[in-house]
Amino acid sequence: MSWITKAENLLNKIDQSAAIVLQSKEEVNVPVAPPIVVPAPIPKTPSAKNVMILSRSTPKKAAKSSDVDEKWETMSETNESRKSSISSKHDTVIDQKSLQMKESSSNVSLNSFSVEKELTANKILVAELRSENNELKGELEALMEQIKVNGNSQKIQELEDLCASLVEEKKELTNISQSLENSSSKYVKTISELETAVMKLQQNENDLKHKLDYAKNETRDITNELQQYRLRAQNQLQLKEKMIEQLKFSGDEKVVNGNETGELTLQVQLEELKSERDHLQSEVELLTKRFDESRNFIEKMEHKHRMMQADAEDKLSTLENSISQLNLKCSHYEEEIQFQKQEIARVREEMLNQKTVMTTKLHDKENELRRMKNSVRESQVQIEIENRMQSLTQSLLSKQNNLENVTAERNGLKLQFEKLSHQHEALLLQMRQERPQIIHINETDDAKSQVPNFMMVNPFDSRMSRRVKRAYSNLDQLGVRLGVFLRRYPLARISSIFYVALLHIFVVFVLLSSTPSQ
């Protein structure tokens, strides 16, 4: 930045010399300006901080840093070439000034011509220097922006790559966790389904047990009934056989008296006994069939119960194995998730540390850029302040002149207004004095009928006030005319009074006679 400050100092000196020459142009004896000593411009090289920042870059940044170095070299070469051209131009100007000094000692007439030439040369040189200064500032800003972008872009890319890898890992972890959740939900569903199936099997087993108990009880009851029925049948058969034998013995004795009746009764009893025997045999057969069927059913149910119990035991064993495998998988997945969470936390800490380091570096670079910009702006601010001071002084002078003109015009208008107001007052007095005097018959009525002064129409009133005053005057005229008419014609006055009295009487009569409608 030293060559920029030197160039600005050189520009300031040239401006001062030009101002001195312009001031000396008004005088007769033109003083010769002292020769300007141009300091040799020091070629700007990149600062140590920039070199350190570029040297710290990673191997990936080597290509970009080489491009930046080439740009620095090209910029320094262009700056040196420009400075050499500026120094050569300054040498020519200084040579011209030395020649003009020698000529001024010989001739005063040639001195004015040399001053004009010097002014033109100085103006051209100042314009060229300003344009080159602006170009150099633009190139410097572009270079600083490129350095900033090249220094930050690669770090940003690395951070973006890390962020992308972290995002991919996060997606993988989310997918794994979702798959684990889905598998766990599926396993939970299967376990619940198996538990419901086991509950159903247990319920079926209990139902079958109840049915078996009920069937066994029924078979026991049936067997007991069969045995009792057999005993009863045997007892009845024995009793009947005894009765038949007794009847046979008694029948031999009573052959004479009741042969026919005894035979009939015996036949009837035999038929009844046979029918009962057949009936009992059929019932015994049915009961035996039922007993066999119930026994077969019980055997089948016991077989089914054994089969169901074996299937349930197999399913329970498979379920226990699957549950143990699921528990092992869940524990394994939980360990993996914890490990990945730890890795994510570690990566986040690394990212935060890198972010803090990058923010500190960015703040340092921004501070350096601000310093550079402030050092560049200081020279511009001084020139702008001088230009503003000149423009403000010129504007102040012009405004003061305008104010003086305006105050003079205002004073003239005030005088004209005062003259016109005096003339108006004089005219009003003349009008009042020249007004004819009218003697009224009734002075009190005329005083009452006179319009007040504030209701008189003035030329300074607004439209609305004029309209109101005219309406008031018209109404006043109508009232005056009506009063004059009633004074001149007493019959009209009496008739109007009579009419008003009749109206009042009629109104009172209507009010008293009318009844309100319900």
Residue 226 is encoded by which pair of tokens? 């069969």
More confident residue, 184 or 102: 184
**346-355, 447-456, 488-497: lowest mean pLDDT where?**
447-456
The tokens of 5 are what?
């400050």
Residue 290 CB-density burial (10 A; 0-12 exposed, 13-18 middle, 19+ buried): middle
pLDDT of residue 452: 67
What percent of the chain stands above pLDDT 70? 69
Joined tokens for residue 267: 């036949």
More confidently predicted of 83 and 167: 167
Confidence of residue 501 (pLDDT cuts 50, 70, 90): very high
Give the per-residue pLDDT at 168: 82
Q: Residue 235, CB half-sphere, CA atoms under 13 Å: how many?
A: 6
For the chain, the structural domain boundaries read 186-344, 466-518
At residue 488, does pLDDT exceed 50?
yes
**Whole-number Cα distances in Å, 324 to 32, 111, 196, 442:** 109, 114, 19, 134
pLDDT in tens, 342-362: 888 888 888 888 888 888 888
pLDDT of residue 509: 94
The pLDDT of residue 37 = 39
| CATH T-level fold of 186-344 | Helix Hairpins (1.10.287)
Higher confidence at residue 103 or residue 412?
412
Helices 48-55 and 62-106 cross at an angle (nearest 10°) of 160
What are the Cα distances from residue 57, in Å, to 144, 150, 151, 156?
Answer: 16, 10, 8, 13
**pTM higher than 0.85:** no
Q: How many residues does the chain have?
A: 518
Cα–Cα distances (Å) from 151 to 154, 193, 355, 372, 515, in that order, read 6, 63, 15, 17, 107
Dmax (CA) for the chain in angstroms is: 215
Whether the predicted pLDDT of 313 surpasses 50: yes
Better pLDDT: 48 or 128: 128
Distance of alpha carbon 232 from alpha carbon 277, whole angstroms? 12
| pLDDT at residue 74, as a whole number | 55
Predicted confidence at residue 117, as pLDDT, reads 65
- The DSSP code for 27 is S
